[in-house]
């Protein structure tokens, strides 16, 4: 994968059905429908193969964007926890 480093492999994969995949899959399907409409074809019946392709591509891109987002958040969490570990005087427990 070109946009994720090897250290991201230690993270669990995101679920196949996630919010980003669903939205981008839906956006792909709507794009195919708009393409049919702009070319004055029957909106739902024409180009079913294109609708499936665009939906699949949107779903795939959404999955990898969710994976990248989880990696970015995990990296940020790791850096923050490392900072807290090295600077305990700044983070005293109230009590």
Annotated domain spans of the chain: 16-85
What's the CA gap between 88 and 14, in Å, rounded?
33
Number of residues that make up the chain: 95
- Of the candidates 19, 12, 25, 1, the residue with the CA atom closest to the CA atom of residue 73: 12
What percent of the residues of the chain are helix, what percent strand, and what percent coil, each to the nearest 5? Answer: 70, 0, 30
In the numeric block, the tokens 């956006």 are attached to: 27
Task: Average the pLDDT over 16-29 and give the result.
Answer: 96
DSSP state for residue 5 in the 8-state scheme? -
- The predicted model scores a pTM of 0.81
- Of 88 and 3, more confident: 88
- Per-residue pLDDT reduced to its tens digit, 28-44: 999 999 999 999 999 88
């Amino acid at each position: 994968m070109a946009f994720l480093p090897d250290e991201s492999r230690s993270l669990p994969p995101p679920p196949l059905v996630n919010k980003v995949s669903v939205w981008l899959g839906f956006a792909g399907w709507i794009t195919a429908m708009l393409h049919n409409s702009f070319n004055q074809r029957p909106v739902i019946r024409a180009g079913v193969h294109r609708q499936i392709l665009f939906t699949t591509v949107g779903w795939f891109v959404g999955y990898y964007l969710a994976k990248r987002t989880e990696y970015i958040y995990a990296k940020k969490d790791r850096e923050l926890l490392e900072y807290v570990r090295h600077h305990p005087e700044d983070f005293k427990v109230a009590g």
